[in-house]
Amino acid sequence: MAGSESLPPRYRAGERVRVRAAFPPGHVRTPYYCRGHVGVVERLCGAFANPEELAYNRPGVPRQPLYRVRFRSIELWPAYDGGPNDVVEIEIYQHWLEAVP
């Protein structure tokens, strides 16, 4: 992994965040189904080389903080018929997240 610089984390566990509703071309590791949705940061996982850069043989630095974000299933899926407390947890890199005021 080239370089060791990491971006500082912007969000803390428990904070509400929105996934950017962006649709860039290329190798992206943010699933479509959570884009534009609001979730809660479950934990910060550390900082990792950006896979969207690594996929094109670029160094992927500065490293991006990676979070596990928890989404309520009933918010992700309008027709969800499971329990109201069911959740999906997804790993999302910081540049895909926005603060929710």
Partner 1 sequence: MSKPVGTAGEGSRGYYRRMQSAVEELLILKGLFTAEEVTREVEAMASRSYQRGAKMVARAWVDPAYKARMLADGSAAAEELGLEVGPLRLIVVENTDRMHHVIVCTLCSCYPRMLLGIPPQWYKSGAYRSRVVREPRRVLAEFGTRLPDEVDIRVHDSTADMRYMVLPLRPGGTAGWNEERLAALVTRDSLIGVARLPDAA
Per-residue b/e over 13-39, b at no fewer than 16 CB within 10 Å?
Answer: eeeebbbeeeeeeeebebeeebbebeb
Which member of 39, 92, 94, 97 binds partner 1 (CB under 8 A)? 92
Comparing CA positions, the residue from 50, 44, 46, 45 lying closest to residue 62 is 50
Residue numbers 65-84 binding partner 1 by CB under 8 A: 66, 68, 73, 76-77, 80-83
Tokens at residue 89, please? 């947890």
* 20 near partner 1, judged by CB under 8 A: no
**Single-letter residue type at 41:** V
If the CB atoms of residues 33 and 100 are measured against partner 1, the closer one turns out to be: 33
Which member of 15, 53, 89, 98 binds partner 1 (CB under 8 A)? 89
If the CB atoms of residues 86 and 99 are measured against partner 1, the closer one turns out to be: 86
